[in-house]
Amino acid sequence: MDHDDGFRTERLRLRPWRVADAAFQRRLWQERDDRVPARRRITPDGHPTVAELEQRIRTDERTPAPGLFVVEFATSAEAVGYCGLVANSVGVPQEPELAFEFLRASWGQGFATEAARVIVDDAASHGYGHLAATVRAWNAASLHVLDKLGFVDTGEREPDPVHGDSLLLRLRL
């Protein structure tokens, strides 16, 4: 499978988003920790709606390459999360940011590490020298995944007394 179609591991398939994935994406938003900033959670009046998320999926340009992928079980095609590269929000623009999020029911089973390893392994083929990752200091599970992948804490912090400080980590490819 080439990366226009996605990637496979023994347990997982990473595939491009489909408009029909909007309800799944909204479910991820609904499960987010209360400490996540409000702009990244469902608002009290219900935004983003499934229709709004459908529109986001329609207009996604999958940049930086290879983009973000839905992560699903290879055997059942049940979506459990997403993983991929997004534009860097804090550091060097040429360093894409690794992003991943999984449904709570799938936590603790190694899916994030497995999916992220595929993306990290592919990133060098796109000419990236480094990847970045930002994570809240309280998010021990994501920090553990990034540590297993070889990301190192840069010591750079974005203080946020309300939602928890954001940490910047980097990986040399």
Give the per-residue pLDDT at 4.
Answer: 66
Does 23 have pLDDT greater than 90? Answer: yes
pLDDT band at 92 (very low <50, low <70, confident <90, very high): low
Give the per-residue pLDDT at 89.
Answer: 73
Does 2 have pLDDT greater than 50? Answer: no
Sequence-ordered list of residues with C-beta below 8 angstroms from that of 150, at least 6 positions apart, any chain = 171
Give the per-residue pLDDT at 91.
Answer: 62
Give the per-residue pLDDT at 103.
Answer: 97
Domains and CATH numbers, the chain: 7-129 (3.40.630.30)
Rounded mean pLDDT, 54-81: 92
CB 121 within 8 A of CB 76: no
pLDDT band at 11 (very low <50, low <70, confident <90, very high): very high
Give the per-residue pLDDT at 60.
Answer: 86
When computed from its CA atoms, the radius of gyration of the chain, rounded to whole angstroms, is 16
Q: Mean pLDDT in the chain?
A: 92
Rounded mean pLDDT, 116-122: 96
Sequence-ordered list of residues with C-beta below 8 angstroms from that of 25, at least 6 positions apart, any chain = 17, 53, 57, 82
Does pTM top 0.85 for this prediction? yes
